[in-house]
A and B are shown apart, each in its own frame.
Chain A
Amino acid sequence: MNPRLETLILLQDLDLMIREISDSKTASQMSRIGFEVDQVENLSQAREELARKVDPDLLATYERLMKRYDRAVAPVRDNKCLACFLKQPTKYSGSEDSIRSCNHCKRFLYII
């Protein structure tokens, strides 16, 4: 997988983790189960460090997509974006050097 795409996926996982744990209902459920999740600042710091590794233009597109949709990076299967469910005009193998975006919703694509 393209290393820049890997970083974007990881950034998305981290953003979603922060979002999930910042939700008071989820945090309280986790705490009831027995997990202390009180060190969100550590995650925010890790997120900033990771974001600094991303090319600024790519990061700006990522941030824009995260604001517009819930996810900026979406899996593709059978050449179909699994976020907007529309077929891509050309085959996506996942081994390309460049990062591909969905032809329709513009989310970054990866093979799951």
Chain B
Amino acid sequence: MASAKASLLMTKDDLVSFFHPDRFIPDLDSETKDGAIRSMVSHLAERKTFRNERIVLETLRMREKLGSTGIGKGVAIPHGRSSVTKDLTLLFARSSRGIDFDAADGKPVHLLFMILAPHVDKENLYLPLLGKIVEVTRDATVRRRLMKADRFEAVTDVLMKVDA
């Protein structure tokens, strides 16, 4: 996993501000990459994050055609910009059984961070957010703690204690 200069523009507080209990799935029951993306998009649609689930789902599927967003070490960051997304949004999900995500290292994915953005991202935080997630999840201890966190507040505690 590569580092990202862009992530330096984002503080831990900024990162944590994108996490929300309504956008946390403690244990996804999907077994496939497409199933996981579908479940995460449905979760957001049910919470009125956007009006058109099909467009967001198809956009994310198209993004996967560019190359898998499974970046290795059990982490995937499915992401994309969509015309039907109003705000930069992050959904965090975990999978205890692991999902085959065509990841770079071929290993199953346990931590999933879905990031959706509008085409015009006024504060230009889309790439910094992607970079920050990559940066914090490079640490094996952080990944292990994120998996073990027993409630949403424990997830944000882990992130606030990251050395970054």
Q: Could you list which residues of chain A lie within 8 angstroms of chain B, going by C-beta atoms?
A: 1, 6, 9-10, 12-14, 16-17, 20-21, 29-40, 42-43, 46, 71, 73, 75, 110-112
Contact A16 B66 (CB under 8 A): no
Contact B59 A36 (CB under 8 A): no
Q: For residues 13 through 53 of chain B, which have their beta carbon under 8 Å from a beta carbon of chain A?
A: 51-52
Contact B67 A37 (CB under 8 A): yes
Counting chain B residues whose Cβ lies within 8 A of the other chain, the interface size class is: 20 to 34
- B contact residues around A12 at 8 Å (CB): 83
Number of A-B contacts (CB under 8 A): 91
Question: Could you tell me the distance between the alpha carbons of A30 and B82 in the complex, rounded to whole angstroms?
Answer: 17
With A33-B130, A35-B71, A39-B66 known to touch, is A13 a contact of B52 (CB < 8 Å)? no
Contact A39 B134 (CB under 8 A): no
Contact A9 B55 (CB under 8 A): yes
Question: Could you tell me the distance between the alpha carbons of A75 and B54 in the complex, rounded to whole angstroms?
Answer: 17
Contact A32 B66 (CB under 8 A): no
Contact A33 B6 (CB under 8 A): yes
- A contact residues around B69 at 8 Å (CB): 35
Contact A34 B51 (CB under 8 A): no
- B contact residues around A10 at 8 Å (CB): 55, 58-59
B49 CB → nearest A CB, Å:
12
Contact A33 B2 (CB under 8 A): yes
- A contact residues around B71 at 8 Å (CB): 34-35
Question: Could you tell me the distance between the alpha carbons of A32 and B77 in the complex, rounded to whole angstroms?
Answer: 15
- B contact residues around A111 at 8 Å (CB): 51
